[in-house]
């Protein structure tokens, strides 16, 4: 954080009101326009037309300053709230904060009854024993509860523990690091994007891999089924010259091409343009294709693997086999942490404490679109030795976080590992990222019947981020190692 903003590592100590106003012009502008300590229950204001910011009700809770309690009698609540609000605005430009001060449960109840057009609640406890946090959490609306340390601790600890035990949609931050509050708020940004997103599922199957109704209920994301007929019509209209240009680019950037012919890779280029045109047509950020079923059934002109590779490199989502739960994990984490995932059919080797993430699609931008690229080979699809796909030689020595969603149970399974190598083995899928499991590898054998064979792997330690957003979405997390 910028020290000039007042939102630095010494944030919990606060600043005097005079110091803060002198050091923060943004806060002065805010203080002259609106006073958080007035008697209005909530701020007015509507988002601008077409605005996609998440709307977050920012609740500061405390009792009047003339009473003895934490932080202390006579505490400068107004200065602290101005400081916090300014720092939140500076740190979260994609969120529209709607600030209000509440001092008792009755005020909270009145507020909750009067509004339903916000994406979430941020309850900042700057003083204790108001009853406000309990009332907001009990409404069932997604809530981030924050302890302003040494000011809100008692009420935070009691209400957060109670809410977690009851399975409420609540995430908690009790930290001297202001960036932890900012990280938690990214969940609201992500949830806003999920609720405004459409996932395309290219399949002729009557029963989809995953339940669109549950996906809509949990994530707010629409699923649009695309028939093979519509898909192939788009393929016929795709520009073959541009498809060949994409093939040339992939070939030039590859460390080597092994099985596929240039003609086959050019088909993949046309397939990429086909999917891209559908994403643009339906304004969707993600596409899943029932690739094996349609290709084996003679309904696909080429495998979509290279197109998925490009989408995932560029911050979009391309997902294998029409797997909607995995698609949602890719979309959720792309929005939340800015990194692409990697669907796999894992192999477990207990003798080496390793899990090998095996599949014929992978990104080579594992740290995000602006991150470094790792080498890759262009190979044939493994099972039938046809088409074209990527073998990505992913970095070693990195922590990964792997997850999967179960629509029927509304649960998410998670484990972590550390990458150790890329296995060169002709059997099974082309990508084989080997990693040492963090935890008990024998326990890792126990959840596959409930969550299926697929896992979606992301480079980085995202355990905290996953636990935060699942709490706000009402998803139970199962740690499988």
User: Considering the chain, what is the average pLDDT of its residues?
Assistant: 90
Answer yes or no: do 440 and 297 share one domain. Answer: yes
Tokens 């997103």: give the residue: 197
Question: Mean pLDDT, to the nearest integer, of 171-190?
Answer: 98
Q: Are residues 121 and 8 in the same domain?
A: yes
Q: Residue 160: which domain range?
A: 3-194
Pick from 186, 221, 188, 183: nearest CA to 54: 188
Total domains in the fold of the chain: 2
pLDDT digits (tens, 9 = 90+) for 87-137: 999 999 999 999 999 999 999 999 999 998 999 999 999 999 999 999 999
The CATH number assigned to the domain holding 165 equals 3.40.50
Question: 52 or 274, which is more confident?
Answer: 274
Q: Which of 54, 314, 98, 9 lies closest to 189, judged by CA? A: 54
Q: Are 481 and 438 in contact (CB under 8 A)?
A: yes
One domain for residues 167 and 201: no
Domain boundary pick from 177, 194, 211: 194
pLDDT at 52: 84
- For the stretch 23-38, pLDDT in tens is 333 333 333 222 333 3
Our CA dihedral for 289, 291, 292, 296, rounded to 10 degrees, sits at 130
- How far is residue 97 from each of residues 169, 376, 380, measured CA to CA in Å? 19, 44, 50
Say if residue 214 is in the same domain as residue 290. Answer: yes
Q: Which among 142, 133, 131 has a CA at the least distance from the CA of 106? A: 131
Looking at the chain, how many residues does it have? 481
Kindly state the average pLDDT of the residues 428-442. 96
Last residue of a domain, one of 137, 161, 194: 194
The pLDDT tens digits for 297-352 are 999 999 999 999 999 999 999 999 999 999 999 999 999 999 999 999 999 999 99
What tokens does 216 get?
């809509």
- Domain limit, last residue, from 194, 214, 232: 194
Residue 8: per-residue pLDDT: 54
**In a shared domain, residues 100 and 183:** yes
**For range 169-185, the mean pLDDT:** 98
Same domain, 422 and 451: yes
The DSSP element (H or E) to which 435 belongs, if any, is: strand 431-437
Kindly state whether residues 180 and 207 are assigned to the same domain: no
pLDDT at residue 194 greater than cutoff 50: yes
Q: What is the pLDDT of residues 236-247, one digit of tens each?
A: 999 999 999 999
Same domain, 179 and 327: no
User: Based on the domain organization, do 221 and 186 belong to the same domain?
Assistant: no
**46 and 33 share one domain:** yes
What's the pLDDT tens digit per position in 214-237?
Answer: 999 999 999 999 999 999 999 999
For residue 280, give the CATH number of its domain: 3.20.14
Q: What is the CA radius of gyration of the chain?
A: 25
Same domain, 384 and 395: yes
Contacts of 414 by beta carbon, 8 Å cutoff, 6+ apart: 401, 402, 403, 463, 466, 477, 478, 479, 480
The DSSP element (H or E) to which 479 belongs, if any, is strand 476-479
Could you tell me if 201 and 189 lie in one domain? no
pLDDT reported for residue 361: 93
Token couple for 171: 């995430």
Buried b (16+ CB within 10 A) or exposed e, 309-323: bbbbbebbbbbbbbb
Sheet (strand 120-125) strand order: 95-102, 54-61, 120-125, 143-147, 170-173
Closest by Cα among 186, 167, 132 to 338: 186
This prediction has a pTM of 0.90
> Which pLDDT value is given to residue 164?
96
């Amino acid at each position: 954080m910028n020290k000039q903003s007042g939102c630095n590592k010494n944030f919990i100590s606060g600043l005097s009101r005079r110091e803060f106003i002198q050091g923060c012009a943004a806060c002065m502008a805010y203080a002259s326009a609106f006073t958080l300590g007035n008697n209005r229950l909530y701020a007015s204001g509507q988002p601008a037309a077409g605005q996609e910011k998440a709307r977050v009700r920012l609740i500061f809770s405390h009792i009047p300053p003339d009473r003895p309690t934490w932080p202390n009698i006579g505490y400068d609540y107004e200065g602290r709230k101005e400081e916090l609000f300014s720092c939140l605005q500076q740190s979260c430009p994609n969120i529209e904060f709607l600030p209000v001060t509440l001092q008792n449960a009755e005020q909270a109840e009145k507020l909750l009854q009067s509004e339903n057009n916000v994406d979430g609640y941020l309850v900042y406890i700057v003083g204790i024993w108001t009853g406000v946090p309990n009332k907001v959490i009990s409404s069932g609306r997604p809530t981030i509860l924050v302890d302003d340390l040494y000011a809100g601790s008692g009420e935070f600890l009691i209400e957060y523990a109670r809410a977690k035990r009851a399975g409420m949609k609540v995430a908690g931050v009790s930290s001297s690091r202001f960036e932890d509050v900012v990280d938690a708020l990214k969940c609201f940004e992500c949830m806003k994007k999920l609720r405004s997103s459409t996932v395309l599922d290219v399949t002729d199957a009557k029963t989809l891999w995953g339940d669109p109704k549950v996906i809509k209920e949990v994530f707010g994301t629409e699923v649009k089924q695309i028939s093979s007929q519509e898909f192939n019509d788009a393929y016929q209209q795709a520009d073959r010259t541009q498809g060949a240009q994409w093939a040339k680019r992939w070939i030039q950037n590859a460390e080597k091409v092994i099985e596929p012919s240039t003609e086959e890779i050019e088909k993949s280029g046309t397939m990429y343009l086909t999917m891209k045109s559908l994403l643009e047509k339906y304004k969707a950020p993600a596409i899943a294709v029932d690739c094996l079923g349609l290709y084996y059934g003679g309904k696909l002109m080429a495998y979509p693997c290279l197109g998925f590779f490009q989408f995932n490199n560029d911050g979009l989502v391309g997902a294998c086999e029409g797997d909607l739960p995995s698609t949602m994990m890719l979309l959720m984490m792309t929005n939340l942490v800015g990194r692409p995932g990697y669907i796999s059919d894992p192999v477990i080797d207990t003798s080496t404490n390793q899990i090998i993430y095996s599949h014929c699609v992978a990104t080579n931008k594992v740290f995000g679109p602006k991150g470094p690229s790792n080498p890759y080979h262009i190979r044939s699809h493994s099972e039938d030795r046809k088409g074209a796909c990527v073998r990505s030689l992913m970095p070693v020595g990195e922590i990964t976080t792997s997850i999967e969603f179960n629509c029927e149970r509304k649960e998410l399974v998670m484990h972590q590992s550390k990458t150790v190598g890329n296995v060169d083995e002709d059997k099974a899928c082309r990508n084989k990222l080997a990693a040492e499991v963090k935890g008990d590898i024998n326990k890792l054998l126990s959840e596959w019947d409930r969550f299926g064979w697929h896992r979606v792997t992301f480079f980085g330690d995202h355990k905290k981020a996953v636990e935060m957003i699942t709490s706000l979405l009402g998803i139970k997390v199962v740690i499988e190692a």
